Every structure is written in structure tokens, then in C-alpha cells.
């Protein structure tokens, strides 16, 4: 084996870390787009929900649909719309921090793991500050988001043995 080949093998990215970082790039990119989209559509979403609840035919809808349009959900949308600027900033910056962490982990830097953790957890803290705990526990999509966050932190943690302090 030549020096070039051995140097290449030394710096080879483990496949698990490679897959996780690629998924992070995709998910964070979608998160940035979602943060921008939510910023521009929050007022429309609120108006549509208020309109739907005030329609006479709303009373004919099945109960499970009515539960999605409850006063708490309407109040939550009002808070999101009122705080759309800080929410968008938190969303976009946290996604960028996750991307930065993934880039560092691709360079096998342990600091990338910590950057990723901060970028993953900050949105939940920020949203809770601006909207309240109801935002984090607002339904199945929030629970899926929390589960994916915890899963990725655990999976990155299992790959941290390949990361060195640089």
C-alpha cells in the first residue's frame, strides 16, 4: 500500500457518519425552506383557520376534524403569527448550526457533534419562550419532530467514537 492510499484510508469517513450527515444536510435544508415558508404563510394560515371555524358547515364536520380546529390551536397560531420573526430566525439559524456541525463531523471533529446538539435543541427552547410549551406538544407532528431529534442525537452519539478532538 502506498503512502497516498494509507492516508486516504486514514481519513475515510465511516459509512454511518456519512449517511447521517447527508440526512442532516437534507433535513436542515428542508428546515430552512420550511422556516422561510412559515414566516410568509403564518398570517394566511391563521386567517384560513379563523375562517374555517366561523363557517356554518364547520359544525357538520366529524369530531376528529373539529378537534384540530380547537381554541387552543387557534391561540397557538395567533402566537406563532405574532412571533414569526424570532421563530424564523431561530429556525434558520438552528438549521445552519446543524449543517455546520455535520460539516465538522465529516472532518471527524468532535466539536461538530456539540454544534449539532445545540442546533437541534435550541429551536424547542426558543419556540417555548415565544409561543409556550403548547407549541412543543401541539400534536403528532411535534412528537415526531422531537423523536427524530432524539434519534439523530443518539445515532450521532453512537458514531462519536470516530470523532477526534481537533
Reported as a single tens digit per residue, the pLDDT across 44-73 is: 888 888 887 777 777 777 877 777 777 777
Q: Among 44-48, 88-92, 116-120, where is mean pLDDT lowest?
A: 44-48
Rounded Cα distance between 112 and 83, Å, is 30
Higher pLDDT, 132 or 164: 164
Output the average pLDDT for the chain: 86
Residue 95 lies in a domain: yes
Residue 6 lies in a domain: no
Rounded Cα distance between 40 and 84, Å, is 9
Residue 3: is its pLDDT beyond 80? no
Residue 9 lies in a domain: no
Higher pLDDT, 154 or 143: 154
Q: For residue 109, what are the domain limits?
A: 15-162
- Write down the H helix ranges in 11-139: 15-54, 63-68, 71-82, 84-106, 110-131, 133-136
Phi and psi at 164, nearest 5°, equal -115, 155
Map residue 97 onto helix, strand or coil: helix
Map residue 164 onto helix, strand or coil: strand
pLDDT band at 134 (very low <50, low <70, confident <90, very high): low
Q: What is the pTM of this model?
A: 0.82
24, 98 contact by CB (below 8 A): yes
Residue 2 lies in a domain: no
Question: For the chain, how many structural domains are there in total?
Answer: 1
The whole-number pLDDT of residue 74 equals 80
Residue 126 lies in a domain: yes
Residue 76 lies in a domain: yes
DSSP string, 83-103: THHHHHHHHHHHHHHHHHHHH
Amino acid at each position: 500500500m502506498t503512502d497516498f492510499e494509507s492516508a486516504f484510508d486514514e481519513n475515510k469517513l465511516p459509512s454511518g457518519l456519512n449517511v447521517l450527515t447527508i440526512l442532516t444536510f437534507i433535513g436542515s435544508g428542508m428546515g430552512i425552506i420550511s422556516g422561510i415558508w412559515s414566516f410568509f404563510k403564518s398570517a394566511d394560515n391563521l386567517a384560513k383557520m379563523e375562517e374555517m371555524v366561523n363557517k356554518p358547515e364547520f359544525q357538520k364536520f366529524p369530531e376528529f376534524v373539529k378537534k384540530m380546529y380547537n381554541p387552543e390551536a387557534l391561540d397557538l397560531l395567533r402566537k406563532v403569527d405574532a412571533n414569526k420573526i424570532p421563530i424564523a430566525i431561530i429556525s434558520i439559524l438552528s438549521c445552519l448550526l446543524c449543517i455546520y456541525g455535520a460539516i465538522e463531523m465529516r472532518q471527524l471533529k468532535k466539536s461538530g457533534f456539540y454544534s449539532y446538539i445545540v442546533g437541534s435543541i435550541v429551536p424547542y427552547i426558543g419556540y417555548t419562550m415565544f409561543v409556550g410549551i403548547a407549541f412543543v406538544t401541539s400534536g403528532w407532528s411535534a412528537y415526531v419532530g422531537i423523536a427524530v431529534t432524539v434519534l439523530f442525537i443518539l445515532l450521532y452519539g453512537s458514531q462519536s467514537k470516530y470523532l477526534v478532538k481537533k
